[in-house]
A and B are shown apart, each in its own frame.
Chain A
Amino acid sequence: MKKEWSPSYRLGKALSRVFKNKSGLMAFIGLAILVTYIIFAVFAPYIAPYDPTVKSGPAYSPPTKDHWFGTTNLGYDVLSRIIYGARIALLIAFLAVAVAAAIGIPLGLLSGYIGGTFDRILSMIMDAVYSFPGLVLAIAIAAVLGPGIINVALSIAVIYAPTYFRVIRNQVSSIKDDLFVEAARAIGARDRTILLKYILPNVLPSVIVVLSMNLADAIMTEAGLSFLGLGIAPPTPDWGYDLSNGQRFLLLNYWWMIIFPGMSIITVVLGFSLFSEGANEYLNPNVGETRR
């Protein structure tokens, strides 16, 4: 067998291509962080040393051999709460972004394709939503809907829907005049066929990067809502709530109650950002060139 065909050789080739430039490395580090948190979220019961909602040791214990990250004012294990907290954070982030994309992408497609007054009105509504400061709007909606995973996800989704709408709409309105779309109309293709088979696959790649950036943002917004008491009801482990709970004891120098949830939020957001940035430059070489 020739050397080029062996699987290990090809894997090595692929890896060296990824690591050849900085963007590949960036994406890889981001991905590694994300995979870690996803493993935390999925296998939380097997990884976490204690039940996160049961007193498992003395209250206010600093990091020790039994409690690596210390315990809270109620004696909950901080490490376990962080591992379980990844569940809520990722679940809400993915849910919110999925809902936002499910609203924004179809509306953007229609708006860009149909154009005219319909497009004007829809764009105006989306711009109005977009012009609100994100967290303020989310607070208002979350306050109306009340706490709960679905409600928090919905209120975050409303903030991000306009982003997808705008990205898709602008791409569609430029691509719909391309010759291959006109050619599709010339063969008598239905509007639905043109939208789904000719336009959508050509505009979808630009959404991927927005998607991973929004995921990072959604985690921060969720933590913000929980911090303000509008998110998930305690004692469900949640980084944002733990942060707000921990800051009450900061003056007593119980730093572990706030440092570790904070670090979790920072690292997971960093993971998403690195990944999206790296993926963007990797998938879209033009961006990299201008920065060099």
Chain B
Amino acid sequence: MRPGGDFVKLLKLENVSVKYKTREGWVLAAEDVNISMEKQETLGIVGESGCGKSTLGNAILGILPRETIVDGKIFFNGEDIISLPRKKFRMIRGKDISMIFQDPMTSLNPVMKLKHHFIETILTHKDVSKEEALNMAEKALTDVGINADRLNDYPFQLSGGMRQRVMIALALVLNPKLVIADEPTTSLDVIVQAQILNILKGLQKEYNMGMILITHDLGVVAEVADNIGVMYGGHLVEYSTKMNIYKDPKHPYTKALLESIPNTDINDRELTFIEGYPPDLMSVPEGCRFSDRCPKVMDICKSSTPPDIFIEENRLVKCWLYKEGSAQSANDN
């Protein structure tokens, strides 16, 4: 049974695999990822560095390097966007799906004034005059709390937090249906982080957008997300609602991940950590990717990859410990 009903999902990934070609061989950055999201939903994707979460975001937007192979199907509003011709796909980028990048310090062109960034974005997709484009830019910039005068500034004249807000304004200026935020707050300090998240949340409601929040910061997803996907070594190992993930994690990796968060309420708790290292995606281990570090490893884990098991509707665990529809019986773990 697949999650979802009859109506069209905003985004649906079916068996998506992404392979990078490098000098040493193929890197399997993501494998058989199945995930979907509704309109206006916020989907959080968490995982440690190099687990394939950014790759997934870039694959949806189709901006992976040339020597990359994307298998499977990505449906956006019911349309398979992987099979779209380059030109048509380009028209979706920036208009219907847009992206906010990780590092605001380098994601603006240093030799272009802010207003040209906006004009460029708007005129690529909309047949409007420069004045109208500027008006839209002013509105978008005010939305994120920056004075419209700053349109004449160069990126270096802005602070990091302001640049990230400009990036948000740029991503939202054409009212996209889906925003992919790839670690939008990673390089900012905590106070600015909160500010950026609030802006994102507010604008998402105002413009009825779906949002994918890619992050390694569990605090950030807890704040914003509706549903959460946990990735490990290129696999989507668990997917469920925020409540389920935080209150009742199923996959051993998710459990270990949550236990490794420091907690100020409990004084005498030893901080747990996950032994070992994440797998090298150049040569992935046979079977479950987590099997080398898993405390509950079984024989089958070493030999074959667990399938996507839906222990209840909209609740996926990629682990041999569970059986289809077994949410209740597996609770003793």
A residues near B (Cβ < 8 Å) are 115-116, 178-180, 182-190, 193, 197-198, 201-202
In the complex, given contacts A187-B93, A187-B170, A202-B110, what are 8 additional A-B residue pairs having Cβ atoms less than 8 angstroms apart?
A180-B110, A184-B120, A186-B98, A187-B94, A187-B98, A187-B124, A188-B125, A189-B94
Interface hit among B101-109, B250-258, B295-303: B101-109
Chain B residues closer than 8 Å to A193, beta-carbon distance: 120, 124
Interface centre among A180, A184, A186 (most CB of B within 10 A): A186
Asked if B90 contacts A186 (CB within 8 A), the reply is no
B37 within 8 A of A: no
Q: Is the CB of A197 within 8 A of B101?
A: no
Q: How far is the CB of B176 from chain A (nearest CB, A)?
A: 10
Please state if A202 and B111 are interface contacts (CB–CB under 8 Å). Answer: yes
Q: Would B108 and A115 count as touching, CB distance under 8 A? A: no
Are A183 and B167 in contact, with the CB atoms below 8 A?
yes
CA distance A127 to B106 in the complex (A): 32
In the complex, the number of residue pairs spanning A and B with C-beta atoms less than 8 Å apart equals 69
From A188, A190, A202, B109 is in contact (CB under 8 Å) with A202
With a 10 A CB-CB cut-off, give which of A178, A183, A201 has the most chain B CB atoms. A183
Are A188 and B103 within 8 A (Cβ)? no
Binding site for A on B (CB under 8 A): 61, 63, 66-67, 90-95, 98-99, 101-103, 106-112, 116, 120-121, 124-125, 167, 170
In the bound assembly, the distance between CA atoms of A174 and B92 in angstroms comes to: 27
Q: Are B91 and A188 in contact (CB under 8 A)?
A: yes
Residue among B91, B101, B116, B170 making CB contact with A179, cutoff 8 Å:
B101
- Which B residues are in CB contact (< 8 Å) with A197? 109, 112, 116, 120
A179-B101, A180-B107, A190-B90 given as contacts; is B63 within 8 A of A185 (CB)? yes
Contact A188 B107 (CB under 8 A): no
Q: Within the assembled complex, what's the spacing in Å between the Cα atoms of A124 and B156?
A: 38
A183 and B106 CA atoms in complex are apart in Å by: 10
Contacts of B120 in A (CB 8 A): 184, 187, 189, 193, 197
Report how far A57 CA is from B176 CA in the complex, Å.
Answer: 82
Say yes or no: B63 contacts A182, CB within 8 Å.
yes
Which A residues are CB-close (under 8 A) to B90?
188, 190
A180 engages B106 (CB within 8 Å): yes
Residues of chain A within 8 A of B109, CB atoms compared? 180, 184, 197-198, 201-202
- Can you list 11 pairs linking A and B with CB atoms under 8 Å apart? A115-B66, A180-B108, A180-B110, A184-B120, A187-B94, A187-B98, A189-B120, A189-B124, A190-B90, A190-B124, A193-B120
List residues of chain B with CB within 8 A of the CB of A116. Answer: 66-67
For A115, list chain B residues within 8 Å (CB).
Answer: 66
